[in-house]
Amino acid sequence: RPRVLSGIQPTSGSFHLGNYLGAVRQWVAQQDTHDAFYMVVDLHALTVVQDPEALRADSRVAAAQLLAAGLDPERCTVFIQSHVPEHAQLGWVLNCLTGFGEASRMTQFKDKSVKQGTDRTTVGLFTYPVLMAADILLYQSDAVPVGGDQRQHLELTRVLAERFNGRYGETFKVPDAFIVPETARITDLQDPALKMSKSSSTPKGIVNLLDEPKVSAKKIKSAVTDTDTVIRYDEENKPGVSNLLTIYAALTGATVADLEQRYEGKGYGALKTDLAEVYTEWATPFRDRTREYLDDPETLDSILAKGAEKARAVAAETLARVYERVGFLPAK
Ligand code: AQP
């Protein structure tokens, strides 16, 4: 079975609809076709200021949401990144293989650092993509299911894998990004030119999966569309409507063409009302299941402990090979 690995940050508690449709939904599908490793990336979360207690709590909330979304610890490995120290250890080795200019060209870093200002931007945020490369390469992953915003980071991962292999001999598998084009970029409900995002969306533009479904339904109903009335997929001229059609199709399994036909001659109001209902039907049991996992932290922690053990077995093997290849003296 080919192997996949991916991760999600535990920040802000709730995942948003972009995280789910762009990434987590694929993870659920791939647990039956792949040897799958999925983690809550708390080391990555630390690249911006976190309240320690909130981070600890949010890591459990993130893990509970992954399970509630359908990840089954019997069919895949779910763990917390900081439980596997090899991530940070390989991250260091790869930092020493990455050019400063190369890291400076990462657009997500550029965007975020401009927004925050250099004084508030950490070196951790700068090396985030290198740690992400370590995450992926440790598991000899064949594919990495992510949203479109991670494409450039995946390209860096491939470059670093090839560079290491070229310098020290074949060590890492060179992974491919797995990006589903239809849901690669779920956009902000209020500004469809932007991606739906924890750090830049306004509260009205983002659908947080753990919010009261009523609150999210209201946001969907007041999503920005356009002055036309035709329900048609056209990313360029009708980005708001196209985003709603994408979400609707992804949540129901209908095709966008089906939906265009179903809503022919109907107004945006009908589409939004129906989508609000579809979303509510999906989100209500999702929230309930998340709460159930959170109500039983012992079971949750034991799932995560088993996941970390399985992950570590693979990660330790890769790291040992890397340490030997780069010339570290083995500890006796
Ligand atoms: N809008 C999106 N559409 C499709 N996929 C998305 N992802 C994020 N936003 C969208 C994908 O979700 C996965 C987890 O992402 P993350 O842990 O990196 O979460 P994040 O980056 O903190 O989420 P945000 O909202 O994008 O945060 P900020 O604003 O901080 O950058 C990834 O696979 C990602 O591609």
pLDDT of residue 65: 98
**In angstroms, what is the span from residue 110 Cα to ligand 1's centroid?**
16
- Under the banding of pLDDT at 50, 70 and 90, the label for residue 116 is confident
Nearest ligand 1 atom to the CA of 41 is 17
What mean pLDDT is predicted for residues 300-318? Answer: 98
**198 catalytically annotated:** yes
Q: Of ligand 1's atoms, which has the minimum distance to the CA of residue 195?
A: 1
Split at pLDDT 50, 70, 90, the class of 295 is: very high
Whether residue 9 is predicted with pLDDT greater than 90 in this model: the reply is: yes
**pLDDT greater than 90 at residue 189:** yes
User: Any idea what DSSP says for residue 186?
Assistant: P
- Is 218 a catalytic site residue? no
- Residue ID of nearest Cα to ligand 1 atom 34: 147
Residue 118 pLDDT: 82
Q: If you take atom 25 of ligand 1, which residue's CA is the nearest one?
A: 197
Query: Which residues are CB-contacts of 61 (< 8 A; sequence separation ≥ 6)?
Result: 10, 13, 14, 210, 290, 294
Helix (H, G, I), strand (E, B) or coil at 143: strand
Segment (H or E) for 15: none
The Cα–Cα gap between 37 and 33 comes to 12
- pLDDT mean across residues, the chain: 97
Which residues share a beta bridge with 5? Answer: 37
Distance, CA of 171 to CA of 162 (rounded, Å) = 9
Residue 272 catalytic?
A: no
- ipTM of the complex, rounded to two decimals: 0.96
Token pair in block for residue 275: 């989508």
125: left (phi over 0), alpha (psi -120 to 50) or beta: alpha
Kindly give the distance from the C-alpha atom of residue 18 to the centroid of ligand 1, in angstroms, as a whole number: 7
Going 173 to 174 to 175 to 176, the CA torsion angle's sign is negative
Ligand 1 surroundings by CB, under 6 angstroms: 8-9, 11, 16, 18-19, 22-23, 146-147, 149-150, 184-186, 195-200
Atom of ligand 1 nearest to the CA of 184: 4
Q: What is the mean pLDDT of residues 152-171?
A: 98
Q: How far is the CA of 255 from the centre of ligand 1 (A)?
A: 24
Q: What is the pLDDT of residue 286?
A: 98
Q: Yes or no: say if 189 and 220 are a contact pair by the CB < 8 Å rule.
A: yes
3-state helix, strand, coil in the chain (%, to 5): 60, 10, 35
234: three-class secondary structure by DSSP = strand
pLDDT of residue 119: 83
197 CA distance to ligand 1 middle (Å): 6
Query: 91-95, 117-121, 265-269: which range is least confident on average?
Result: 117-121
Binding-site entries for L-tryptophan = 135
Judge contact between 14 and 61, C-beta under 8 A.
yes
In the reported structure, the alpha carbon of residue 196 is separated from the centroid of ligand 1 by a whole-number distance in angstroms of 8
Confidence of residue 117 (pLDDT cuts 50, 70, 90): confident
CB neighbours of 322 closer than 8 A, spacing ≥ 6? 90, 93, 164, 171
Using only C-alpha atoms, what is the Rg of the chain?
21
pLDDT value, residue 47: 94
Atom of ligand 1 nearest to the CA of 48: 30
The one catalytic residue among 110, 115, 173, 195: 195
Structure tokens at 136: 């992926």
If one counts every other C-beta atom within 10 angstroms of the C-beta of residue 133, the result is: 28
Rounded Cα distance, 198 and 178, in Å: 22
Q: Which of the residues 173, 198, 221, 310 is marked catalytic?
A: 198
